Structures are given as C-alpha cells and as structure tokens.
Amino acid sequence: MHPAIKSFLGLCLICSTASAVEPAATPATTPPSAPSTQAANQPVPTAATTASTTTKPLTAEQLAKNKQQQDAKIKALVQDQASRLKQLEHANLEALAQNQELQLKNDSLSVQVQVLQSERSAQMFLYGAVTLAGGVLLGFFISSYIHTKRRRQW
C-alpha cells in the first residue's frame, strides 16, 4: 500500500513541477518579443528593459504563489489520502473482527448441529430398543398365555 502512495505522490510532484514550468515558459517567451517591438518603436532601450524586469519579479512571485498553492493542494491530497487510509484500515479491522465472530458462531452452531444429530440417533436407538423389548415381552406373554390355555383344555 505504501509504494502506491509514494508513486502517487511522485506523480503529483512531477505534474506540479511540469505545470509550474509551463506558465513560466509562456510569459518568458512573450516579454522578449514585446521589448523588441518597443525597442524598434522607441529610441530609448532602458525603458523596455525596466518594463521587462518589472514583469519578471511578478511572474516569479506568481510562480512562487502557484508553487505554494500546488504544495498546499498536494498536502491536502496527502492528508485526505491518509485519512481515507485510516478509515479503510479501521473498516478492515472491524470487518476482520466481525468475520472472526461469525466464524466462531458458525463453529459453535455446527457443533450444536452435530450434538443434536447424535442425540437424535441415540433417541432413535432407544426407541428401537424399547420397541424390541416391548415386542419380546408381548411375545413372551402371548406365548405363555397360549401355553397355559392349552393346559387348561386338557
């Protein structure tokens, strides 16, 4: 996870330096053409150089402001990503805890099912044994009754 954040920050820094260089390149190309036209129209070249030097500090200030704004945006993005990462980690931990809880419940329920099945089979065994014993006793009583009845007839 950390290499992905590092690569994202590196990409943001590359994009910020590329965009910071592009605005500087565009005004830098336009002022030299403007003083050359002013120098051709005006006989005094010192006025043109003072005009171009006054625009350069403004662009440098603008570049510095842009750089600060971009740095602030990057810091905000980093903080936002960090807060999202913390939220995801927290949600992941909660999900893992809930998963473990559910697995424990599942295990206990499967044990309960096995116990109930074994109790049911034991109960059926007892029913079979009672039925068999009842049948044997009933058979014994019926046979003894028939045997005693034959003796009475003689």
Q: Distance between CA 148 and CA 77 in Å, rounded?
A: 104
- What percentage of the chain has pLDDT greater than the value 90? 47
pLDDT tens digits for range 101-123:
999 999 999 999 999 999 999 99
Residue 59 near residue 27, CB atoms below 8 Å: yes
pTM of the predicted structure, to 2 decimals: 0.40
To the nearest 10°, the Cα dihedral for 33, 38, 39, 44? -150
Is the pLDDT higher at 117 or at 36? 117
The predicted pLDDT at position 113 comes to 96
Cβ atoms of 59 and 24 within 8 Å: the answer is yes
Cα–Cα distance measured from residue 51 to residue 37, given in angstroms and rounded to the nearest whole number? 13
Supply the DSSP string of 33-91, one letter for each residue: HHHHHHHHH-S-HHHHHHHHHHHHHHHHHHHHHHHHHHHHHHHHHHHHHHHHHHHHHHH
